[in-house]
Amino acid sequence: MIKQTVQEKLLRYVKIDTQSDPTSNETPSTQKQFDLANLLVDELRAMGIKNVEIDEKCYVYATLPSNIPSDDTAFGKVPAVGFIAHVDTSPDTTGTDVKPQIIQNYQGGDIVLPADNNVVIKVSECPSLNKCIGHTLITTDGTTLLGSDDKSGVAAIMTAVEYLINNPQIIHGDIRIGFTPDEEIGKGANFFDVTKFNCEYAYTIDGEMPGEINKETFSANACIVRAYGRDIHPGFGKNIMVNSLRAIADVIAMTPRDMAPETTEGYEPYIHPHKLSGTVDYSEVQMLFRDFKTEGLDVQKQMIEDIVAKVQENHPKVRFEIEVIEYYRNMLDLLEAQPHGLDYLWEAATRSGVEPYWNPIRGGTDGSRLTAMGLPTPNIYTGGQNFHSKTEWCSIDALTKSVETIINLAQIWVEKKR
């Protein structure tokens, strides 16, 4: 029943467009994120959970109350434990009119998506498919992203809560539930009320294949390089026109190729020019700085400053500006200072029949910021892959393991207080 339930919820959630918008200064950055958040509030209340609320910034908070018998002296004080997922999807690929495709009993091989035969989920690029033989897979039709990141996490939490309600023989403490907006644009924790959430430990459900659990992320900054030129009719441009586009192109060309996302893996840092805009008069490139060592971000900043200085020599009339914006920091040290919640996660994964291993996230989660805010928050797998793209997919069998892991965690937090 868990597999069927979590599949039904995922299919329902991914059809709701919740893309966030990095150009917005509002929270949430798009009002359509409320469409899913309000649905979740209604579903939680329909389950019988009374302590449910949604605030004006699209944060959902709820509590499944403890069912520990009040007269049972075998239990000590059991702390509340939280489970968190984000409702928004990436702005990188459209999330409008998602048409999920169900592949029953996947038997291996590449998957050609039906609406565009040029969009193919390739085993050579996604070897995790080899671990999903016999699974039920969910893909798109090839025209949108799926939204498994992170509606799989949302579905897992909602399914686990429903299961605990329907199986009261499973003893658990207070379970806090949190859904956030705007995680994909780095703002998911901006207005999260840690005091209101009121739990000792939390877990984001926002990872990849079963077994991979995460206690460390990149430290991250954004960098914007701006170039100011001068425009004039090109027929009269000699010695007058100053083309900012050429200058920005040279900056991009000089970023180190061996520090690009497409050439790095594991613990290797990267500098990633990911958005370019401009005219002759004004151009800018937005870059991502990522390094597991926070001090490495200063090294990357210096590298860009040195590159801009060299480009300036060839474009002396261009005026440059460099802005660096702090995003989030690696959560490893703070989590390892409170290792019991990590140990419980390892045990919960093992009980769910998977072989856990710690793997660094080459990205970030709300957990990075929440951990820095005083709420230790490692990350749990969802069974999704190829996030932010038209080739995104999710294994329902793997997602079922996420649900089981949440249920096991709820029990382990009680057992450790016996």
The residues carrying an active-site annotation are 88, 183
Q: Tell the burial category of 83 from Cβ atoms under 10 Å away from its Cβ (0-12, 13-18, 19+).
A: buried
Residues 202 and 365: their CA atoms lie apart, in Å, by 13
Closest CA to 274 of 296, 297, 255: 255
Look-up of token digits 């690696």: 330
Give the type of residue at 336: E
Look-up of token digits 């030129």: 229
Q: SS3 string of the chain?
A: CHHHHHHHHHHHHHCCCCECCCCCCCCCCCCCHHHHHHHHHHHHHHCCCCCEEECCCCCEEEEECCCCCCCCCCCCCCCCEEEEEECCECCCCCCCCCCCEEECCCCCCCEECCCCCCCEECCCCCHHHHHCCCCCEEECCCCCCCCHHHHHHHHHHHHHHHHHHHCCCCCCCCEEEEEECCHHHCCCCCCCCHHHHCCCEEEEECCCCCCEEECCECEEEEEEEEEECECCCHHHCCCCCECHHHHHHHHHHHCCHHHCHHHCCCCCCEEEEEEEEECCCEEEEEEEEEECCCCHHHHHHHHHHHHHHHHHHHCCCCEEEEEEEEEECCCHHHHHCCCHHHHHHHHHHHHCCCCCEECCECCCCHHHHHHHCCCCCCEECCCEECCCCCCCEEEHHHHHHHHHHHHHHHHHHHHCCC
Q: Tokens representing 194?
A: 């840690």
- Identify whether the C-beta of residue 365 lies closer than 8 Å to the C-beta of residue 379: yes
Closest CA to 384 of 10, 67, 38: 10
